Amino acid sequence: MKARVHIMLKNGVLDPQGEAVRHALGTLGFDGVNGVRQGKVIELDLAEGTTEASVKDMCEKLLANTVIESYTIELT
């Protein structure tokens, strides 16, 4: 089984990289991009039967820094 973890900066946390991407899109002529937030996706290849609670524990302990990041888990 696989899990996909999406990690994003929480709302209100400034994202200088997203802001740089937004600026670059504007320079390329893409109008109307009001904001860009950059996050990451982590794919986990897991032993059958691994619980969502266990993946949540992984997020809390290592994958995300919950001071500034939020995460969502997708089991597939």
Partner 1 sequence: MKAAVIVFPGSNCDRDLAEGFRQAGFEVSMVWHKDTDLPKGMDVIGIPGGFSFGDYLRCGAIAAQSPICRAVVDYAHKGGHVLGFCNGFQVLCETGLLPGVLMRNAGLKFVCRQQTLRVETADSPFTNAYSKGNEIMVPIAHHDGNFSADADLLSRLRGEDRVAFSYVGNPNGSTGDIAGILSENRRVLGMMPHPERASEPAHGGTDGQGVFKSLTEVLALA
In the complex, the residues that contact partner 1 under the rule CB under 8 A are 13-14, 16-17, 20, 61-63, 65, 67-68
Give min distance, CB of 48 to partner 1, in A: 25
Total number of residues shown for the chain: 76
Nearer to partner 1, 31 or 61 (CB): 61
Nearer to partner 1, 54 or 65 (CB): 65
Distance CA 36, CA 41 (A): 16
Give min distance, CB of 62 to partner 1, in A: 6
For residue 66, what are its two tokens?
């919950």
Distance CA 57, CA 53 (A): 6
